[in-house]
Amino acid sequence: MSVMDIFETMEYGPAPEASSPALAWIKERQPFGLFINNQWTKPTSGRYLESVNPATGKSLAQVASGNSADVDTAVAAARRAFETWSQLAGHTRARYLYALARQIQKHARLLAVLESLDNGKSIRETRDLDIPLVARHFYYHAGWAQLMASELPGYQPIGVVGQIIPWNFPLLMLAWKIAPALAMGNTIVLKPARYTSLTALKFAEIVQEIGLPPGVVNVVTGEASRVGEALVRHPDVNKIAFTGSTDVGRSIRRATAGSGKKLSLELGGKSPFVVFDDADLDSVVEGVVDAIWFNQGQVCCAGSRLLIQENIEQLLIRKLRARMEKLRLGDPLDKAVDMGAIVSPVQLREIQRLVEQGVAEGAQKWQPSWACPTEGSFFPPTLFTHVSPASSIAQVEIFGPVVVAMSFRTPEEAVALANNTRYGLAASVWSDNINLALDIAPKIKAGSVWINCTNMFDASSGFGGYRESGFGREGGKEGLYEYVRPAWKTETVRPTAESILIAKDSTTEEEDEVSASDGTRFALPAIDRTPKLFIGGKQVRPDSGYSRDVYDVHGHRIGEVGEGNRKDIRNAVEAAHAARSWSAGTTHNRAQILYYIAENLASREDEFTRRIVQQTNRTYEDAFNEVQVTLSRLFSYAAWADKFEGIVHRPPMRGVVLAMPEPMGVIGVACPEPYPLLGFVSLVAPAIAMGNTVIVVPSQQSPLSATDCYQVFETSDLPSGVVNIVTGERDVLSQVLAEHDDVDAIWYFGSAEGSKRVEFASAGNMKRTWVSNGHERDWLDTVQGEGQEFLREATQMKNIWVPYGE
Ligand code: NDP
C-alpha cells in the first residue's frame, strides 16, 4: 500500500504481534502433562489431545487427556491440601493471592499471546481486557482473604471445589473461579475447556513459581466425558462451579441432585440491547460493536438482540451497516484487527447452521462486502432484520457474531420484548433520559444491566444469571458466598433434647360440654373447622375433593385438611403470579404488613400454643416458646424488609455499579416437620419480606398451625395471592412445584431423597433450589433459623452499571 493510498483510505496497516516467545514456551514443554499436587504428571490414559490454532487450523500443542483415575488423584491431593490451606490465616492466603496477581502481571504478554493463539480472539482484547481483568480478580480477592475473618464471621470454606470452565474466556473464567475459591480457603480441581487449555497450564506454572502449597490448585485437562463428568460425580467434591451451555448446566444440576454438593451455574444468554429514540446513536453503534462483535460474539452476555425504538430503526440500521463495513477481521495477532477467529470448525458450522435457519425462516441477512480469510475458522459480522420475535435466531443462543434487530414502540413493549426469552443474563439500555433508563433496568429480568454501556466487568461487581442463565454470582461480596457455608452446617444438625421436649402429661384442649334437660352432660360436637386450601386469598376446596386426616403423636385423629394435588398447585402458582405487584410495593409497606401479622398472631397466642401441643404433644411452655420465637421472627423480617439493601460498587471507571437484591419471583416452599408454626413462618416471612410470592406446603404431619394462619393473613392486609397454602403430601406437591416452569425457586426442608428429587426436577427451567438434604436445623436458634442466609436465598443480585461524565 502506498503512502498515497493510506492517506486516501486512512486504513491502519498491519501491526503483528510476535508469536515466537509463546511458540517457544509451548515447544519446550509439550506434550503437556496434568498438574496435580504441584507436579506435572503423565495422564493415566497415556493419550494426548491436540490443541489447534483456530486462525490457521494448524496444530499448536499436545495436551494430556485425563480420565477419572486422574480426577481421583487430583481430588485426593486437593483434599489433603484442604486440611492446611483452610486453616491458614486470612492474611497468609492474601499474600499468596497477591503473589499470583503479581506473577500474572509479570507474564501478561505471554499469557495474552498464548490466549490469542489458542482461542483465536484478538490480541487487543486479550492484552487490554482479559489479562488485566485476570490480575484484578486476584488482587481484589486477596483483599477478601485478608478480611474474611472480620467480614464473614461464622462462615467456613466448603472444601474441595470442582471448577469447569468454557473456551470463550479461558484464563478469565479460571480467575473468576479460582480467586474467590482460594480466598475463602477452598482447594481446587480445575477442568479447562478441551479447545483452550494452554493458559490454564501457564497458570499452573505460575502456581509452582509462587510456591502455592501442593494440591491447593490442580489442573486436569481432557474431555468432558472423561474429566468433566468424573469431577461432577466425584463423592469427595463439595462444590461444582460451572460456566458453559445451558444444556450441560442442566445435566450437571441433575447429576448433582441430592449429593449435597453446592452448585453455581453461569449459563447461556440471549441478551437484549435496548435503544430508545433519544439515545446518542453514534455511541450506540460503538456499543453494538462491543456488544456482539467483541470476542466474535462468543460471549455468554453478548447483546445479540438489538431492540430499537421504531422511529429510529432505519437510521440506526444504516449507521450500523456503515460501521460494519469498516470492521477489520483477520489474524488475531494483528493489533489493528477488531475480530479474530471462531474457536473451532465445529462451532463455526453451528453458527453457519443457525444463520441458514434464520434465512430460511424469512429474516433478512446482511453482511459487509469484504471477504473473510479462507484459512482458519472465520465468520463475518452479521445483522438480521425483519426478525420475528419467536423465530429461532431470536431465541437460540448463536454464540457467534450475529445480531438480530427488532423494533418496539413504547417502553412497555421494550420490556416485554427484552424479557421474551428463557434466559436472563444481561441487558443494555441506551437512552439519554436517565429516568427512563433507571425505570427500565429493574424491569428487565437479567443479572447485569448496563446503562449506556455494555459488556462491562469487574471483580467488585457480581455477575450471573436469572432464569435459565443459571444461578450464583461471580465477583463482588455476593460471589464469596458461593465458596463458604455457615460454620454450623458442617455437621448434621439434629434438634437437641432441649429444643424439643416431649411432654409426659400433655395439655389437651377441653371439649365444651352441655347439659341435657335431665341434667346429663355430654360433649357438644365441635363446629366443623376443616381447613380448605388457601389460594389467591380465598379458602378453596381441594380439586381432588379428598381430605386427609391429621393425627397427633399417639395416632389419635385431631382434624382434617384438604388433600392438595397438581391442579391446586397450578392454581396457586397462577395466584402467586397474579400477585407479583407485591414486589413493586414499598419495602416500608411490606414491613408494616409483617408487623401486622405478628400483632394478629400475638392476639391469638394461646390458641396457637394449644394447637402446637395438640399436634406434637410437647409441653404448653415449650409450645408457648415456639409461638414467642415465631413472633420475634416476624419482627426480625419486618425489620429486614427495608434494610436488606444493595451496595454501590466503585469499579475502576468513571461511574458506579448499583448492586440491588431483587426478589426471586415465585417461590415454592416445602416446610420442615418439627416446629409446625415456627418452621412455616421462618420460611414464609423472609420470602415475602423480600417481595416474593409463595406457594407453601406446610408440615405434612402437623399442618394445622399453618392452616390456622389463614385468618391471621386475611386480617393483616396481606394482598391476595402473596401467600398460598396447599396442604397434602409434601414430596408429591414439592415435585410438582419443582417441575413447574413458572416457579422461580424452590425451598425444600425434608428428607435427603426428597431433596434429591427436587434438585433433579428443578433442572427443567433451572430454578434455584435450596434444600436441606435431610439435615434438620434448630429453628429456635437465631443463627440457624433466621438471618441473611434466608434473605440471600430469597433474592438475586442485579448489577446496574451507570457510567457518568460527558
Ligand atoms: P459446554 O457447555 O459443552 O462446555 C463448557 C465446559 O463444560 C467445557 O469445559 C466442557 O468440556 C465441559 N463439559 C461439557 N459437558 C460436560 C459434562 N457433561 N459434564 C461436565 N463437564 C462438561 O460448551 P461448548 O464448549 O460445547 O459450547 C457449546 C455451546 O455452549 C456454545 O455454542 C454456546 O452456545 C454455549 N456456551 C456458553 C458459554 C457461556 O459462557 N455461557 C461458554 C461456552 C459455551 P469440553 O471442553 O471438554 O467439552
Q: What is the pLDDT of residues 596-620, one digit of tens each?
A: 999 999 999 999 999 999 999 999 9
Q: What is the spatial distance between Cα 577 and Cα 136, in angstroms, rounded to a whole number?
A: 41
**In the predicted structure, residue 639 carries a pLDDT above the cut 60:** yes
Ligand 1 center from residue 245 Cα (angstroms): 5
pLDDT (tens digit, 9 = 90+) per residue, 370-407? 999 999 999 999 999 999 999 999 999 999 999 999 99
Atom 16, ligand 1: residue with shortest CA distance: 224
Atom of ligand 1 nearest to the CA of 350: 32
Q: What share of the chain is helix, strand, coil (3-state, %, to 5)?
A: 45, 20, 35
Ligand 1 center from residue 191 Cα (angstroms): 11
- Scored b (16 or more CB within 10 A) or e, 225-240 reads ebbbbbbbbbeebbbb
Task: Enumerate residues 6+ apart whose C-beta is below 8 A from 511.
Answer: 523, 524, 526
Establish whether 300 is a catalytic residue: yes
Question: What pLDDT, on a 0 to 100 scale, did the predictor assign at position 502?
Answer: 29
Candidates 17, 115, 229, 300; catalytic one: 300
Ligand 1 center from residue 203 Cα (angstroms): 21
Average of per-residue pLDDT across 550-575: 94
Question: What pLDDT, on a 0 to 100 scale, did the predictor assign at position 490?
Answer: 65
pLDDT (tens digit, 9 = 90+) per residue, 265-318? 999 999 999 999 999 999 999 999 999 999 999 999 999 999 999 999 999 999
Question: What pLDDT, on a 0 to 100 scale, did the predictor assign at position 4?
Answer: 81
pLDDT (tens digit, 9 = 90+) per residue, 166-199? 999 999 999 999 999 999 999 999 999 999 999 9
Cell of 234: 466425584
- Residue 278 to residues 80, 90, 430, 785: CA-CA distances in angstroms? 59, 49, 8, 50
Local confidence band at 531 (pLDDT 50, 70, 90 cut-offs): confident
Contact at 8 Å (CB) between 298 and 344? no
Question: What pLDDT, on a 0 to 100 scale, did the predictor assign at position 495?
Answer: 34
Please provide the DSSP assignment of 388-416 as one string: -TTSHHHHS---SSEEEEEEESSHHHHHH
Cβ < 6 Å from ligand 1: which residues?
164-168, 191, 193-194, 223-224, 228-229, 232, 243-245, 248, 251-252, 267-268, 300, 350, 397, 399
**In the predicted structure, residue 724 carries a pLDDT above the cut 90:** yes
**In the predicted structure, residue 500 carries a pLDDT above the cut 50:** no
**In the predicted structure, residue 524 carries a pLDDT above the cut 80:** no
383 forms beta bridges with 366, 403
Mean of pLDDT over the chain: 93
Q: What backbone phi and psi angles, to 5 degrees, belong to 367? A: -130, 155
**In the predicted structure, residue 506 carries a pLDDT above the cut 60:** no
Residue in the block written with cell 474466556: 169
Q: List the one residue out of 298, 301, 294 whose CA is nearest residue 470.
A: 301
Question: What pLDDT, on a 0 to 100 scale, did the predictor assign at position 104?
Answer: 96
CA atoms 711, 715, 721, 723: torsion sign:
negative
pTM listed for this prediction: 0.88
Question: What pLDDT, on a 0 to 100 scale, did the predictor assign at position 528?
Answer: 56
Least confidently predicted of 459-473, 506-520, 583-597, 633-647: 506-520
Question: What pLDDT, on a 0 to 100 scale, did the predictor assign at position 527?
Answer: 55
Question: What pLDDT, on a 0 to 100 scale, did the predictor assign at position 642?
Answer: 86
Ligand 1 center from residue 24 Cα (angstroms): 29
Residue in the block written with cell 452446617: 489
Atom 21, ligand 1: residue with shortest CA distance: 228
Atom 28, ligand 1: residue with shortest CA distance: 245
Question: What pLDDT, on a 0 to 100 scale, did the predictor assign at position 503?
Answer: 27
Atom of ligand 1 nearest to the CA of 196: 46
Atom 11, ligand 1: residue with shortest CA distance: 224
Atom 9, ligand 1: residue with shortest CA distance: 193
ω into residue 651 within 30 of 0, thus cis? no
Contact at 8 Å (CB) between 256 and 265? no
Q: For the purposes of burial, counting CB atoms within 10 Å of the CB of 603, is it exposed (0-12), middle (13-18) or buried (19 or more)?
A: exposed
Pocket test residue of 223, 248, 343 for ligand 1, highest count of atoms within 8 A of CB: 248
- Upper half-sphere CA count for residue 94 (Cβ side, 13 Å): 12
pLDDT (tens digit, 9 = 90+) per residue, 58-101? 999 999 999 999 999 999 999 999 999 999 999 999 999 999 99
Pocket test residue of 47, 65, 191, 245 for ligand 1, highest count of atoms within 8 A of CB: 245
**In the predicted structure, residue 498 carries a pLDDT above the cut 70:** no
Candidates 125, 266, 759, 793; catalytic one: 266
